[in-house]
């Protein structure tokens, strides 16, 4: 049995994953526009807060939040080309709203460029735009944090949804989906089937819980 003095103790930085976080931030800052980088930082901090509230691993939440938009550096055309070249599947629907492909390709890019192999983190990046029925808590946290982070200001009901996010995460997912779909319907934007699937799942969940729906 090795004596304690031979065992190299981890530094506080190593224990908290801070050295990796610093590396991810450094790399991300180089590839994203300044506003997008700030948004990514803000999402990561919001993810940490929500992870504290819902008992999720803080490090995973921080990394998923930080890297959720890591593929935003690519144009829609580049994203489609990269997916085709690297065998990353996307739906026909996504071609009609190609901006959502940054989440699908983002999971692959985080794996390759940032060496992330944690499936829960990759999955949270993958689903952060359209969500999916029965999201994991980490997936829901990134989905919600992306919408409510402090730098956002355009959505009408932000104060209400921000508060809700810390009371009932599923309800926040439902409200965000509702408002996003309503906005796209009113503005003539294309709505992916995956987005409707997420919305209908959470609407049913609200009904089952006896909560009011719109
Ligand atoms: Fe995004
Ligand atoms: Fe984002």
SS3 28: helix
* 111 neighbors 117 (Cβ within 8 angstroms): yes
Distance 127 CA to ligand 1 centre (A): 9
Domain count, the chain: 1
CA of 84 to the centre of ligand 2 (A): 23
**CA-closest candidate to residue 74, choices 26, 35, 43, 32:** 32
pLDDT at 74: 98
CATH number at residue 130: 1.10.3210.10
17 in a structural domain: yes
Domain assignment present for 50:
yes
Does residue 75 sit within a domain?
Answer: yes
Q: Ligand 1 center to residue 9 CA distance, Å?
A: 38
Closest ligand to C-alpha of residue 100 is 1
Has residue 34 been placed in a domain? yes
What DSSP assignment string belongs to 97-148?
SGGGHHHHHHHHHHHHHS----HHHHHHHHTTTT--TT--HHHHHHHHHHHH
Task: Using the mean position of ligand 2's atoms as its centre, give its distance from the Cα of residue 9 in Å.
Answer: 37
- In total, the chain counts a number of residues equal to 214
Distance from the alpha carbon of residue 69 to the mean position of ligand 2, in angstroms: 5
- Range of 134's domain? 2-153
95-151 residue pLDDT tens: 999 999 999 999 999 999 999 999 999 999 999 999 999 999 999 999 999 999 999
Digit-coded pLDDT (tens) for 181-193: 999 999 999 999 9
Q: What is the pTM of this model?
A: 0.93
180 lies in some domain: no
Domain annotation covers residue 111: yes
92 located within any domain: yes
Q: What is the pLDDT of residue 213?
A: 86
Q: How far apart are CA 81 and CA 73, in angstroms?
A: 14
């Amino acid at each position: 049995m090795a004596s304690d003095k031979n065992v190299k103790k981890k530094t506080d930085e190593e224990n908290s994953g801070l050295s990796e976080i610093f590396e991810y931030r450094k790399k991300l800052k180089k590839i994203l526009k300044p506003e997008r980088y700030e948004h990514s930082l803000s999402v990561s901090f919001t993810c940490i807060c929500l992870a504290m509230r819902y008992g999720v691993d803080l490090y995973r939440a921080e990394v998923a939040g930080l890297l959720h938009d890591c593929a935003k550096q690519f144009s829609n055309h580049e994203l489609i080309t990269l997916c085709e070249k690297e065998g990353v599947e996307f739906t026909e629907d996504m071609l009609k709203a190609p901006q959502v492909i940054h989440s699908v390709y983002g999971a692959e890019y985080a794996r390759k460029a940032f060496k992330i192999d944690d499936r829960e983190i990759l999955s949270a990046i993958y689903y952060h735009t359209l969500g999916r029925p029965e999201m994991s808590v980490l997936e829901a946290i990134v989905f919600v944090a992306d919408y409510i982070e402090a730098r956002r200001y355009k959505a009408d009901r932000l104060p209400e949804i921000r508060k809700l996010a810390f009371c009932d995460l599923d309800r926040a997912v439902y409200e965000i989906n509702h408002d996003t779909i309503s906005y796209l319907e009113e503005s003539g934007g294309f709505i992916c089937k995956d987005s409707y699937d997420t919305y209908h799942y959470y609407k049913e969940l609200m009904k089952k819980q006896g909560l009011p729906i719109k």
